[in-house]
Amino acid sequence: MTARARTSTPKKAATRKKAATRKKCAKPAPRRKTATPRETETRDTAIRGPAADEVGPLTAYRMRMRLVGDLLNASVGELVDCGSGSDRVGRGAYLHIMGQVFEALDGLTQAVPLDDLVRLSRVVAEQRRAELNTRKVEAIVSQARATRGSSNNGETDQSATNGEYRLPAHFNEMVRQLYGVTLADDANTESANESEPRP
Amino acid sequence: MANGRTASEIKRIRTEAVVALKMLYPAALQAEQLFRSLLGLFPALEWDHFRRDLAYLCEKGYLQRVVAELEGDERLTAWRRRWFRLTSRGVELADHVIQDPAMDP
């Protein structure tokens, strides 16, 4: 098969020159990266999944429990069949061992004893309730001050602004009308009795 | 709001207890260990509330108590020393095969 003779015309020669120049100036094609074992997803990475710090606490907790469960079932899972009524000793031993293994895997071996934990949780809960109640009381008091301040017809209550609370001016009158005595009367009576000479 | 807990909190705690036992299924776990494990997720969880949740889940049929020979008289065993495992119904709930409005957070 003979090669076809090239008819060299000026146009064709120019085209061939351009193509040759383009080929010379063209950037070399990028080398294809050969896949290394580190870059491909191995079975381990597929099982591990995302890092623990990238997921929320709930997801991390469930992942940890799943791993602990898989390990427990793989290690002592065959002993669960001994849970029949006739071998309660075996089942008891199995439960005890499994509990210890669970504690070790879940990081509970260095944990605080449960009695202390119960007390601590009660203290924290009571503290939180006290804080909530204090906030409620403060909100009620501030609301009452604001209401009283607007209804005092412009009277400035220095004690309210200073954080102190004083009895209203007509409180003595209220006490007198209710009980027939006033705070001043009681104070005068006590001082009068003290000053009187004893027989 | 019951005992300082909202309904959603109650549901979440009960759901996570069931999910944790599902991970260990068919193995059982002591209430104390389950409580301490859940404390990492719910730091404000109180033991008294959790004990009632366990009793509730047992009555609902999602958990069952496993009595070990080491316990002796099972009626005298403290709640925190009792063993609990998931029932088949509890597994179905954890796998979302069945629905329970009282458990969905």
Question: DSSP string spanning A154-188?
Answer: T---HHHHTT-----TTHHHHHHHHHS--HHHHHH
Evaluate if residue A33 carries a pLDDT over 80: no
- The dihedral through the CA atoms of B67, B73, B77, B81 has a sign that is negative
Q: Which residues pair with B63 in a beta bridge?
A: B86
CB A93 within 8 A of CB A76: no
Average pLDDT (B62-84) is 84
Flag whether residue B78 sits within 8 Å of chain A, measured between CB atoms. no
For chain A positions 18-57, those within 8 Å of chain B (CB to CB) are 57
Q: Please state the ipTM of this predicted complex.
A: 0.77
Flag whether residue B44 sits within 8 Å of chain A, measured between CB atoms. yes
- What φ, ψ does residue B29 adopt, rounded to 5°? -145, 145
Q: Which amino acid type is present at position A108? A: L
Rounded to whole angstroms, the Cα distance separating A57 from B41 reads 7
Contact A118 B33 (CB under 8 A): no
Average pLDDT (B76-94) is 90
Mean pLDDT of chain A: 64
CB A97 within 8 A of CB A76: yes
Asked if omega into B26 is within 30° of 0 (cis), the reply is yes
Question: What pLDDT is recorded for position B43?
Answer: 84
Per-residue H/E/C for chain B: CECCECHHHHHHHHHHHHHHHHHHCCCCEEHHHHHHHHHCCCCCCCHHHHHHHHHHHHHHCCEEEECCHHHCCHHHCCHHHCEEEECHHHHHHHCCCCCCCCCCC
If one counts every other C-beta atom within 10 angstroms of the C-beta of residue A1, the result is 3
Helix (H) or strand (E) holding A63: helix A57-76
Q: pLDDT digits over B36-46, tens only?
A: 888 888 888 88
Rounded to whole angstroms, the Cα distance separating A157 from B5 reads 40
Q: Which of A68, A99, A125 sits opposite B44 (nearest CB)?
A: A125
Average pLDDT (B54-79) is 86
3-class secondary-structure state, position A139: helix
Evaluate if residue A191 carries a pLDDT over 70: no
CB B93 within 8 A of CB B57: no
Q: pLDDT digits over A142-153, tens only?
A: 888 888 776 655
Instruction: Tell which residue, B10, B104, B17, B13, has the closest CA to residue B63.
Output: B17
Question: What pLDDT is recorded for position B90?
Answer: 93
Evaluate if residue A48 carries a pLDDT over 50: no
Residues 6+ apart with CB under 8 A from A113: none
Question: What pLDDT is recorded for position A184?
Answer: 58
CB A103 within 8 A of CB B37: no
Contact A92 B69 (CB under 8 A): yes
- Which residues of chain B have a CB within 8 Å of the CB of A65? 19-20, 23-24, 37
Mean pLDDT of chain B: 87
